[in-house]
Amino acid sequence: GHVVLGHISGRMRMHYIRILPGDKVTVEMTPYDLTRARIVFRAK
């Protein structure tokens, strides 16, 4: 797989959802820059 830099989306930041290294997350990627993504969901 690819290595991407992920930032927390606004809704996750509002609800203070903590993300730890090793957590499985869902990301949204833009077609313009495949090295950056937005973290939108943390799996349980």
Q: What angle do CA 33, 22, 17 make, to 5 degrees?
A: 80
pLDDT of residue 1: 82
Domain boundaries, the chain: 5-42
pLDDT of residue 38: 95
Does residue 2 surpass a pLDDT of 90? no
pLDDT value, residue 8: 92
Q: Which residues contact 12 (CB under 8 A, 6 or more apart)?
A: 19, 39, 40, 41, 42
User: What pLDDT does 44 receive?
Assistant: 81
The Cα 15–Cα 11 span in angstroms is 6
> Quick check: 27 and 38 in contact, CB under 8 A?
yes
Give tens-digit pLDDT for 11-39: 888 998 899 999 999 999 999 999 999 99
The CATH superfamily assigned to 5-42 is: Nucleic acid-binding proteins (2.40.50.140)
